[in-house]
Amino acid sequence: MTTETVYDILKAFDRMPDNPDNGRIRQLSEQAHKEGVLDLLVFVCPKFNTAALLSSTPEEYMPTDANDPNDLFFQRIPMLQKVLAKAGSLDLKVKLSVLLGDNDAEVYIFPFVRGFCINLLEFDRRRKLYLESFQRRAASLFAEAAQVRSLSMCEVIPNKQKQPVIKEDEFRDELAFFSWLFGEKGPYKGKLQFDEATLREMVRLKFALYGAQGTFLETIGGVLLQTEGPGVWLQRTQMLRCTGAKAVPAIYPWIRKDEKH
């Protein structure tokens, strides 16, 4: 095993031509070669029950079972197993950190829903059940290689002292995404209505949250396996760096079927 073979394995799964993080990926490959350990990170978004927000039991927005075969993570499993197997073939110890993005709604949706009342103790109870369920799922898939963490329980929230720096085009694109998210064709089916000023504040808070996530990634280290598709590959990674964190280098193994290459 050499630095080059570690680098080649990572790049074999990277589907972004001319990835701007290539230099940092090579540096991390050298570190992994010296230490015999390769740290990989991947974000997972729970499959929330969006309809629950306007029901009498909004706590059920947070699922408790992490074994839904229709969630986005299910589609990621084969590639993750290939990456782990390939790295393991070099006698590298691979550590996979699975990061549950389970507090987005609390940061930039819940505060803006009119008349919203939720039992936070019950919501947290459900969140813990989901974490435990995902830990069992990850253990069955990846054995000891995986560690599952809840970003909420790790207290990854926006730092009011670090305001996000957002490029105009990035803000515009994210605002368009929010318009779809809460529109008739989005997962909330147009049942949550927000004016443009509110949507703009939501976007700012989302960037601030992602910036906090980037700071958290730096404490773990490794290579991020970015789960987004080609349309927003770099934008999502740059969001992790919008409050000053260099975050970690990213590779892009996945292209969603409904996206153009």
pLDDT tens for 66-125 read: 998 888 899 899 999 999 998 888 888 999 999 999 999 999 999 999 888 999 999 999
Q: Coil, helix or strand for 99?
A: strand
- Residue 230: pLDDT band (50, 70, 90) is confident
C-alpha span between 30 and 2 (Å, rounded): 8
- Supply the pLDDT for residue 203: 98
Report the amino acid identity of residue 210: Y
For residue 172, pLDDT beyond 80: yes
Q: Which two tokens stand for residue 240?
A: 């992790």
Q: Kindly state the percentage of the chain with pLDDT values over 90.
A: 79
For 176-205, what is the mean pLDDT? 94
Query: Which one, of 164, 2, 154, 135, lies nearest residue 64 by Cα?
Result: 135
Report the amino acid identity of residue 254: W
C-alpha span between 192 and 131 (Å, rounded): 27
Higher pLDDT, 144 or 121: 121
- Supply the pLDDT for residue 54: 84
CB 171 within 8 A of CB 199: no
For 161-176, what is the mean pLDDT? 95
- Supply the pLDDT for residue 78: 92
Query: Which one, of 211, 209, 198, 200, lies nearest residue 242 by Cα?
Result: 211
Q: What are the b/e assignments for 11-47, b being 16+ CB within 10 Å?
A: eebbebeebebbebbbebbeebbeeeebbbbbbbebb
User: Would you call 193 exposed, middle or buried from its count of C-beta atoms within 10 A (0-12, 13-18, 19+)?
Assistant: exposed
The CATH number of domain 3-251 is 2.40.30: no
- Residue 258: pLDDT band (50, 70, 90) is very low
Residue ranges of the domains in the chain?
3-251
